[in-house]
Amino acid sequence: MQKTERLILASKSPRRQELLGMLTRQFTVITADVNEARICKEFSDQRDKFADYNSLAAEMVRALAAAKATAVATAVAPLADRVILAADTIVVLDEEVLGKPRNKDEAREMLYRLSGRDHQVFTGVHILTQSRSESFHAEARVRFFPLDDFTRQCIDFYVAGGSSLDKAGAYGIQDEGAFFVQSIDGDFFTVMGLPVAETVRRLYKYIPEVFF
């Protein structure tokens, strides 16, 4: 087995690939399909079991990441000495998860709803090996600028370009979606899709040789 294959990133997201590439070049991308809508519905149906919606969202996003890691582990079995890293990000507004918009009209609607408001971004991370696993999550509060003429023009421009369609909440903080963001309370990289500092500290316990 080549050294570059020891660490597997279970994510199609180019943003996560870019962020993991900041930490190490020694990884392979392998993905497998997961029914994310079913997992989200299962948690939503158990709303009464959680003290608040933030607790539900945190468990939901960790479960999504774990499902991705498990699906890839099944696809590449036997896992041997490989380490799988998976992550998922959700945007929460008014106790509702805003996923990836289905079309440009829905993307525009999401961005209008977020304007002038605070929302929560949760990113769950799961690390899986043949003998053990662990999950954690990070969260950040993001506030968008109010809806004015400039914001409306930004939304029209952003939605027309199509890049909002593959992002939770219809925006990416690393591209023109940054035009909407007035403030962040928390980690920028959590909003982007992978809490870099915490992730590298945890991965180092499993495969220190790929970092230094």
Active site residues: 88
- Please state, in angstroms and rounded to a whole number, the distance separating the CA atoms of residues 146 and 114: 9
Tokens 């053990």: give the residue. 132
> Which residues lie across from 90 on neighbouring strands?
122
CB-based contact 32:10 (threshold 8 Å) = yes
Does residue 80 come out as left (phi exceeding 0), alpha (psi in the -120 to 50 range) or beta? Answer: left
- Please state, in angstroms and rounded to a whole number, the distance separating the CA atoms of residues 127 and 136: 9
Is the dihedral angle over the CA atoms 18, 116, 141, 86 positive or is it negative? negative
